[in-house]
Chain A
Amino acid sequence: MAETKLTPQDFAPLHSEREVQSLSRPSLSYWQDAWIRLKANRRALISLYIVIFLLAFTVVGPWFWTIDPSTIDPDQISQPPGANREVVVTAPYEPWSIDSIVVPASGMALVGEPTTQSIRMAWAPMPGAFGYRVYRNHFPVEPGKALGLPLVNILNPDETWFEDRLNLKAQDYYYAVVATDATGNRISDPVSVDVLPERVITAEEAIRRGIASAEEPPAIGTPLKMKLHPLGTDYLGRDMLSRLMHGARVSLFIGIFAPFAYVILGIAYGAIAGFLGGIIDQFMMRFADFVVALPFLLFMIVFKLAFSVGAGESGIFAMLIAMIVLLWPGTARLVRGQILQIREEGYVSAAKLMGANTNYLVLRHMIPNTMGVILVTLTFAVPSAIFTEAFLSFIGMGVAPPTPSWGSMCNEGIKTMLTTPHELLFPAALISITVLVFNLLGDGLRDALDARMRSRE
């Protein structure tokens, strides 16, 4: 039997070998963990990038694209993106002097060069006419077919000329003239002429629009390019890109700031009511019911008066206050319900027994566990706030013209939806994208922040 030799070292305490039992990955804080889970969610991540892009578009965009959003360009009204911008410099408009008119022997003929400034035409007098009516069409004139847009009724048989200046574009026009009797009924077959006018601009206007320099006024006949509008122009020839950037300021400000403000107010209110419970809870929730019952629109008007917002002034600030003051009870109710539920959970009781104080309980256990509900509320609140802004701007209580917002741009664009769809499509697409990314981001955030899903694969 071998003898065991013991040395004092053998009686030294063992090193604690905690490493063996430690977790296989580093400890993560709540937020780090949430971030990891958010990063794993591609939808949410892409949405986050789009939100960042939208904010950059709003804040940084106007530094790069410096065109004023309220400058009207009457020569480029309702231009779609990528429209032809070629233009030729011409002399300033001179009224047509009656003496210079040469009436053709038969039929109808153009007088002078047809341009988008004016198209002048004259025709041979027609027997028996009391007057004439001139039409303009987009299709060749055919017997028995409609003649198009009636431009003018001339009530003088000797006035056999007409100058068209109405909204001329560089496209084919087919003019027709018919003789009329005393009551305006058509009494002859049409005589017609077709035209392709040249797009022109006067030197003065070219300088004013900034496409030619004032020091060297362009000579007549110089080809120029109209101002570039990458996303086209609206119904008054204002740059769409610039308006979208500036409109985003209002829409995103209201759409993000107002919901955050009233959701935070609602969380605080709901958490207090739910945590304290009892008579105070009853009292606070009845007050919330009272606020729900207040009519939003009426309050908007009252706030406008209270802040003495006059006619034609922006009501954005009043709108923000009204939204914060009136829209918090929804969140407050949800949060209170959740808190009431969580208050009874075992881990809260455990924490209480371990001596956690109220602040710790609310901030560490209750609020994070209601995060799912809160984020759902918030993501729904953002689009609804954007739409509220759009609606209020429409009834004249939001932004004052010429300040744009996405909502007011939609309302204006919808009138010309069939002819110039880009005026509606761009702001509508931006609203849709914003709403979608906030929803997807909110979805991802809810999953990421939900304490119960923590560290689950």
Chain B
Amino acid sequence: MDTASGSSSVLRQLGLYALLTIVGIALLMWAMSWIASVTGSAERTQTAIDPETRSASFLLGDEPPQLDSSKATDALSGMVLGHVMEGLLAYNENNQLTAGVAERWDIRERGATFWLRRDAKWSNGEPITAHDFVYSWRLAVDPANSSQYAFLLYAVKNGEAITQGKMPLESLGVTAIDDYTLEVEFENSTAYFGKLVAFSTYYPINEKFHKSVKDRFGADADTLLYSGPYMIENWVHGASLKMVRNPHYWNPGRGGLDIIDFPYITSDPNARLNLFKDGKIAIAGLSAENLGEAIDRRWQMNAFAEGVVFYIEFNHRPGRVTGNRHLRRAMQLVNDPAELVYKVTKLPGYLPGKSLFPVWVQGVNGFFRQEYPAPEAPVNIEQARWHLEQAKQELGLDEIPPLILLTGDNPLSTLQSEYYQDRFKRTLGLDVRIDKQIFKQRLEKMTAGEFDMVMAGWGPDFDDPLTFGDLFASWNEQNRGKYASSELDAQVRIAQRSVDTQERMDAFGEIQRILFEDAVILPGYERGIVYVVDERLEGVVRRAVGPDPDYTFARIREGS
């Protein structure tokens, strides 16, 4: 066989295969799109904004896990509930606390009184009364209901004792004086109570309705009674959710949308971007990978600080080497949040972490972090190595055993955990093993204490530094590393009980100092969100505390 013709025949054959493959794929794609167009024609055509029906479409990142307001704990459920429910007080479009179901209120040192508006009605037309609040608050602390967020009601007299089963439900310090007057007694003085009642755990629940649907409450669109500006008309689990205006809401002029539609539920960032490109949804969050495309397409982007702080939490349980303060100090001295944020994470809107308290938290007069600057530990590798030697001596070890870093399974957590792994290896010679887990599994491992370090985050429940400040109190369930310090506990008690703002902020300043000096956490970053909004839509409110994003004030621009 002639070698020259042999090699050319090989090439020809390869070329033919390649051509056939490409033609085959093209045909397959064409056929699939044809099938899709044939089968998909039955569905309505979906557009992001429809000025005729005054509707707008958005995307839900996930199925809302819990729409029973007495039990909901996550931000997504909080967002949906914020649209269809209203508590005594609520946040307005400027993120200020305003009247909700209550039209007037009076918060005193030992208690509070709320006067409910008489035109506030449930979505079935029945009036919302003070009894509905008494019922829902008792439900939240009821040990039989075992709500994870019962602790938010510990501010109300006997709340903690009832949750522990030591007192009857009726002893909860809230009474309906008449249908439209609600009287609250505090356990200790609670200066921030107004901020608490805006949170979902404090939303009203209609007793008659709740008992009629029993365990199905909050599981479907028709097993909820709505007190907010919108109500869920249709909810296909895992697929879509549609909200329409609540005809009985007391303020019919609120917002400009008649329909808030969530036709897609997906957490895939690329799907999200494609839906926005195709004009199917009006808002899309951007991830680091598609920022470049957004710039090239010249989209008008927005950024906002989401209010969530992320940090590495150590396990302080006995038997864990991370219980050693010198070891934690060593790691604190090589931790470089600026490098993490600016070079590794590379997302705008992210701030290098310095403290457990984020920058937006209010202090006495201005921002807390400006009044109480966070102590800083500039990177100092030599000193860190000295601390490491001390740690080895105290622990009686020649070598620190490999540390388990528990982390989430999303791309960003992977990136950051690998960065930390290299950082601790390169600077201190510490071996770090990455334990990647899905959210639920990670929470379980965190609760069980199966980690040395965990990449954790905390978002605010109410607009007061205490939502962060009591996180490392020895009795807090969310204190996953079981850090215990009587000094810190004492400061948390002051912050909880005092009504003097100065005294409370001083306590938070002390908490910030103790967390730093004991190296309880390694601050990572404060998360920001970059997103694009359809130009025809305005008035979408983003906020750190409360339902986010809030579409109840959104309007469609004139002329679009």
Contacts and interface: CB of A to CB of B under 8 A. Distances in A.
Contacts of B404: 310-312
B343 A149 contact: no
Contacts of B295: 137-139, 148-149
A146 B433 contact: no
A27 interface: no
Contact of B289 (A149, A150, A152, A415): A415
B304 A418 contact: no
A146 B343 contact: no
Nearest to B287: A415
B234 to A, nearest CB: 32
| 9 tightest Cβ-Cβ pairs between the two chains A and B | A312-B433, A311-B435, A150-B303, A74-B343, A167-B346, A72-B422, A146-B298, A165-B342, A146-B300
A318 interface: no
B411 to A, nearest CB: 6
Interface stretch (B25-33, B77-85, B134-142, B413-421): B413-421
Given A137-B295, A184-B304, A313-B433, A167 B343 contact: yes
Contacts of A147: 300
Interface stretch (A16-24, A49-57, A379-387, A395-403): A395-403
A418 B94 contact: no
A141 to B, nearest CB: 11
A153 B303 CA distance: 8
A270 B445 CA distance: 45
A124 interface: no
Contacts of A312: 402, 404-405, 432-435
Given A40-B1, A74-B343, A165-B338, 5 more contacts: A77-B344, A145-B298, A236-B415, A401-B417, A402-B422
A145 B10 CA distance: 53
Contact of B296 (A71, A138, A167, A310): A138
B343 A77 contact: yes
A313 B431 CA distance: 11
A150 B422 contact: no
A416 interface: yes
Interface residues of A, number: 44
A42 interface: yes
A166 interface: yes
A183 B421 contact: no
A235 interface: yes
A162 B302 CA distance: 17
Residue among B298, B338, B425 with the most chain A CB within 10 A? B298
B301 A148 contact: yes
A100 to B, nearest CB: 19
A151 interface: yes
Contacts of A400: 433-434
Contacts of A137: 295
B101 to A, nearest CB: 24
Given A147-B300, A183-B93, A401-B418, A42 B10 contact: yes
B291 interface: yes
A206 B433 CA distance: 28
Contacts of B414: 401, 412
Given A43-B10, A138-B296, A312-B404, A150 B348 contact: yes
B302 A150 contact: yes
Contacts of B255: none
B299 interface: yes
Nearest to B435: A311
Given A77-B344, A165-B338, A149 B433 contact: no
A42 B3 contact: yes
A453 to B, nearest CB: 16
Contacts of A184: 304
A91 to B, nearest CB: 15
A146 B291 contact: no
B530 interface: yes
A147 B7 CA distance: 55
Nearest to A310: B433
A49 to B, nearest CB: 14
A182 interface: yes
17 contacts: A43-B10, A70-B425, A71-B426, A74-B339, A74-B343, A138-B296, A149-B301, A149-B303, A150-B302, A150-B349, A165-B338, A166-B348, A311-B406, A311-B434, A311-B435, A313-B433, A418-B292
B293 interface: yes
Contact of A166 (B302, B346, B415, B419): B346
B291 A236 contact: no
A43 B11 CA distance: 10
Interface string A22-41: 00000000000000000010
B344 A74 contact: yes
B308 to A, nearest CB: 16
B436 interface: yes
B240 to A, nearest CB: 27
A150 B530 contact: yes
Interface in B109-136: none
A9 interface: no
Nearest to A208: B426
A149 B298 contact: no
Contacts of A313: 433
Interface in B368-424: 402, 404-406, 409, 411, 414-415, 417-419, 421-423
A146 B296 CA distance: 10
A418 B293 contact: yes
B6 interface: yes
A416 B346 CA distance: 13
A419 interface: yes
Interface string A226-261: 000000000110000000000000000000000000
Interface string B57-100: 00000000000000000000000000000000000011000000
Contacts of A43: 10
Given A166-B346, A183-B93, A416-B289, A149 B530 contact: yes
B289 A418 contact: yes
A148 B302 CA distance: 9
A27 to B, nearest CB: 24
B305 interface: yes
B344 A236 contact: yes
A45 B150 CA distance: 72
B415 A396 contact: no
Contacts of B423: 72
Contacts of B302: 150
Contacts of B415: 235-236
B262 to A, nearest CB: 24
B418 A151 contact: no
Given A183-B93, A312-B404, A419 B292 contact: yes
Interface in B272-314: 289-293, 295-296, 298-305
Nearest to B286: A149
A30 B293 CA distance: 60
A184 B544 CA distance: 14
Nearest to B299: A146
B496 to A, nearest CB: 28
A311 B7 CA distance: 51
Contacts of A153: 303-305
Contacts of A401: 414, 417-418, 421, 434
Contacts of B406: 311
Contacts of A40: 1
A115 B299 CA distance: 27
Interface in A357-414: 396, 400-402, 412
A149 B344 contact: no
B298 to A, nearest CB: 4
Contacts of A139: 295, 298
Contacts of A419: 289, 292-293
Interface in A272-325: 310-313
Nearest to B13: A43
B6 A151 contact: no
Contacts of B7: 42
Contacts of A236: 344, 415, 418-419, 422
Nearest to A165: B342
